[in-house]
Amino acid sequence: MTSALPPISELRRRIAGGALTHLSLVEQVLEGASAPAAGHVFTRLYPDAARAAAHHADAMQAAGVTMPPLGGLPVSIKDLYDVAGEVTLAGSVACQGESPANRDAAAVARLRLQGAAIVGKTNMTEFAFSGVGINPHYGTPRNPADAQVARIPGGSSSGAAVSVALGLSVGALGSDTGGSIRIPAALCGLVGFKSTQSRTPRDGAFELARSLDTVCAMARTVEDCLALDAAIADTPLVVRRRDGVAGLRLAVPTSLMFDGVEPAVARAFDRALSCLSAAGALVTELPLEELTEIARINAPGGFSPVEAAAVHRHRIGARRAEYDPRVAARIDLGMSVGAADYIAMQDGRRGWIARMEAALQGFDALVCPTVPITAPPIDELLASDEAFFKANGLLLRNTFAINFLDGCAFSLPCQAPGELPVGLMLASVRGDDARLAAAALAVEAALQAAPV
């Protein structure tokens, strides 16, 4: 089981009261990062830098200076972000020996400016190209939610999620191209926030698909996700907080999002929806047939394979044997797609977004399971390409729709105690991040207050 850190507000209270220091917290985290439970979570640790940030925060605290939300607190960063002087490996061995980064990625630099104690880089799916979280080069971090069965953590931000779930960070900088924040958040029982793509700069983030890549983070609570988002976006969202969920307008799509849903997921989602409805949320079933069009519009290769092929065409030509074969196979899907088909995909997506935005007018959020399954055992997916790609498709299906929309979304845990984690996704259109955050805060509070 996990030994998660309390929310940031509680840590701040304990530090202010003298029960804890930033340095003692960082030392606790660094010790935990070397424990067996943290196997394969980090690809690199920064103990000296993390201690230095904690020392500075303790000195500022002693001087009576008000600390920024993340000041001196342990944070992890995904292995696809540049750190000055290091080669960015992005979960691969095929980048070893390449030129080191000249400067920190924009999001990393902003975390440092906020005084965050960056503990280390976290493991990930190679080149961020799957929702499963398996990595054949650096190992696969085990999902802490199940002590008996070694289950996948979800991907591609696998180590990021496990670092938070194990209490090795208050929050984790990850990325989300088709669900890479929300999938592992859902499978590990965390909160993940995929912002509108343009909200956070992608400078210094290893590219997967430029049309979809989003720099974002996960944490234990919505409030903590908003603190991380404020740091990496360099501007906090102006959230008009709601007094409960009464009157909250929720659209439940009847197309696509519930196909093949696992019974455990359906039960947890239905229980959560009943709780919200009983508290006054206005739940409306919406056909949203537009969701069934995604596969057709994305059919000529798909945005991720096509744009990844452009990123990797020289490297994979020279070092293909070093790639995870399952990742290489997906990149191959984009190699033969021509410019005309790619432009048609862009045009089709643009029109689809306009129709989806019109269909969602009048609602505060679309709501559905983040993913339709609970975390499968690692061994099952290692043993079979068929099982791997089936699980990958299911894991990505619901979350990818929001990337395709260029929307924003939260994944909130909605399972009962003793159940495997299940995520409830609240999503909206691009630029609606602040209003969606208000809804997520209210929904989180209602779910936590519900009788079990």
C-alpha to C-alpha distances, 365 to 5, 247, 351, 438, nearest whole angstrom = 29, 12, 21, 11
- The structure tokens 């424990």 sit at 35
The Cα–Cα gap between 398 and 270 comes to 17
Is residue 158 within 8 A of residue 133, CB to CB? The reply is yes
Report the alpha-carbon angle 259-263-268, nearest 5.
100
Is residue 260 within 8 A of residue 372, CB to CB? The reply is yes
Q: Name the pairing type of β-strands 215-219 and 249-253.
A: unpaired
Q: Which of 206, 232, 211, 238 is nearest to 406 (CA)?
A: 211
Which amino acid would we find at residue 203? D
Is residue 14 within 8 A of residue 107, CB to CB? The reply is no
Residues 6+ apart with CB under 8 A from 244: 279, 280, 442, 445, 446
Q: Has 99 been annotated as catalytic?
A: no
The pLDDT score that the predictor gives to residue 1 is: 36
The Cα–Cα gap between 312 and 208 comes to 9
The pLDDT score that the predictor gives to residue 207 is: 98
The pLDDT score that the predictor gives to residue 2 is: 43
3-class secondary structure, 36: helix
3-class secondary structure, 204: coil
Radius of gyration of the chain (CA): 21
Tokens for 394, please give them: 């299911």
C-alpha to C-alpha distances, 404 to 248, 268, 371, 407, 430, nearest whole angstrom = 25, 26, 16, 8, 11
pTM of the predicted protein model:
0.98
Q: Name the pairing type of β-strands 249-253 and 365-369.
A: parallel
The Cα–Cα gap between 131 and 182 comes to 10
First to last CA, the chain: 20
Q: Which of 392, 390, 401, 342 is nearest to 368 (CA)?
A: 401
Within 47-134, strands assigned E span 74-78, 117-122
Q: Which of 158, 180, 195, 428 is catalytic?
A: 180
Tell me the average confidence (pLDDT) per consecutive run of 10 residues in the chain, 452 residues long. Answer: 82 97 98 96 98 98 95 98 98 98 98 98 98 98 97 98 98 98 98 98 98 98 98 97 97 97 98 98 98 96 97 97 98 97 97 98 98 98 98 98 98 97 98 98 96 70
Is residue 91 within 8 A of residue 125, CB to CB? The reply is yes
Q: Has 180 been annotated as catalytic?
A: yes
The Cα–Cα gap between 424 and 391 comes to 18
Q: Name the pairing type of β-strands 42-45 and 117-122.
A: antiparallel
Tokens for 166, please give them: 């194990």
The pLDDT score that the predictor gives to residue 452 is: 63
The Cα–Cα gap between 375 and 381 comes to 11
Q: Kindly give the residue spans of alpha helices, DSSP state H, lying in 95-169.
A: 106-113, 158-165
101: left (phi > 0), else alpha (psi -120 to 50), else beta?
beta
3-class secondary structure, 156: coil
Sheet holding 42-45, edge to edge: 42-45, 117-122, 74-78, 171-175, 215-219, 191-194, 408-413, 423-428, 365-369, 249-253, 282-286
CA max distance for the chain: 63
The Cα–Cα gap between 87 and 96 comes to 7
Q: Has 130 been annotated as catalytic?
A: no
Q: Which of 156, 158, 175, 411 is catalytic?
A: 156
